Structure 1
């Protein structure tokens, strides 16, 4: 047996704990509840059924909730990039007194748990009349910890670019803004990909903020909607919940598969320079 074959065999074994939960979620969504709870459990449904997927859209305005999560995640991703990319470039390229202290102070924001700030944020948005709207779910991530982490990743990437690029841009008559837009940002595609993926995932999976700020089912996002699939006695409808969870996980898998190369490359550059 060659070393390559052995390596592939080990990798296949190691991926089982990561792949099996997804496999069980999707296959169980095609089973009746009695088969899901049967012992010993089965890896494949005896008779696949799509009734659970039909009930997902009948019991909740799931299509509207799906759209809510999709557009909020997209807006948050674009907003985070709009804030973090220029900020990361400025911290990497502009040297001024106190820049390191300012950057360290910004990073401290990552140490503050969201549970600590949720009550003050609720009072602020309630006073502004923005509760039960999607504005808190957009503004809090764009101006909060996700943008801080994104700024750190962008800064670390821009530090890896040679300073000769800035000198060449200055010789060509480009200012800082033009150099960032025409040179820095195109070269930062791996970092942009990494920031886009983890920002999209963070917004897509956000749970605490929606249950605090939203109260109308038509405005719910998917993580909050998943908790609403219960029977008349308040018990979980397992097959329906798993069907909804399978539909919820689909965009996440698609985004990661399409951009995993940029994600890995972007994170690989974050620790090269300080």
Structure 2
């Protein structure tokens, strides 16, 4: 009797698992279909993309679209996006970690009020500040350079969000760990570097992914500050694949987009465990 009940319970559990995974697979289709269409269209001639009814697979796969991508300075633009995103990520990590630790562990007058002022930066859309920033960088003779694209995120919205994430993590560190560090002769910076920062790796990974994606996908700022094609980043590069009347060449744009998303996927695949763990540890503290 006990064995039959166990078998029945096991069958019910397997049935529930199968039903759950089936539902999850169905729910992923709307999210995976655009990516599938992008990759599939990159191997199609332009005429097949426009035909009706559409086809999920190319009938005559071709690499012509990928060849056309590199007729523009795509590799140079790829490098521009990559090194800018890396510098922005490193700068955001440095600023966010130090600011988050200061707000979480250093008591000074007006700390909470100042933190609220910093958070107000998240409420200002980029369109509000882009004109005064353009005038500022024009006065500094930095327009049509990559410096605005590096400086603005490090001291802008990316660092504000990163500071919030890091502060919430540092609030959860037991005070006893810092007291032990002080007894061992560490000063405040030593406690931050040797105790707090190594514990914050998951949160650092979350901030790194968010800042990398924000820089990699930025369109408005490069559109405003860059005018030379050799200085374009990838979001601007995708707009240059047009025909003689300015209409998109869809298969070439899909090929360029397919190449563009690869670093983003690699970053997320290799760091997703730390990303989820870092956001889970952030919680709601303080």
- Is TM > 0.5 for Structure 1 vs Structure 2? yes
List gaps (5 residues or longer) in structure 1.
none
Say whether the 8 Å CA contact 1:28–1:239 is kept in structure 2: yes
Looking at structure 2, the residues matched to 28 and 163 of structure 1 have their Cα atoms a distance apart, in angstroms, of 56
Say whether the 8 Å CA contact 1:137–1:209 is kept in structure 2: yes
Structure 1: 4+ residue segments shifted above 4 A:
none
Looking at structure 1, the residues matched to 126 and 156 of structure 2 have their Cα atoms a distance apart, in angstroms, of 9
Looking at structure 2, the residues matched to 10 and 70 of structure 1 have their Cα atoms a distance apart, in angstroms, of 37
List gaps (5 residues or longer) in structure 2.
1-13
Residue 141 (1) aligns with residue 141 (2):
no
Deviates more, 1:250-259 or 1:1-10: 1-10
* Structure-1 residue corresponding to 2:143: 131
Residue 226 (1) aligns with residue 243 (2):
no
1:38: Cα distance to partner? 1.1
Of 181, 186, 189, the match for 1:169: 181
1:270: Cα distance to partner? 2.1
* Structure-2 residue corresponding to 1:91: 103
1:233: Cα distance to partner? 1.2
Aligned length, in residue pairs: 273
Residue 76 (1) aligns with residue 88 (2):
yes
Q: What are the residue-to-residue correspondences of 1:1-274 with 2, within 5 Å?
A: 2-58=15-71, 60-274=72-286
TM-score normalised by structure 2 residue count = 0.94
Deviates more, 1:34-43 or 1:99-108: 34-43
Say whether the 8 Å CA contact 1:160–1:272 is kept in structure 2: no
Superposed CA RMSD:
0.8
Q: 1:2 aligns to what SS in structure 2?
A: helix
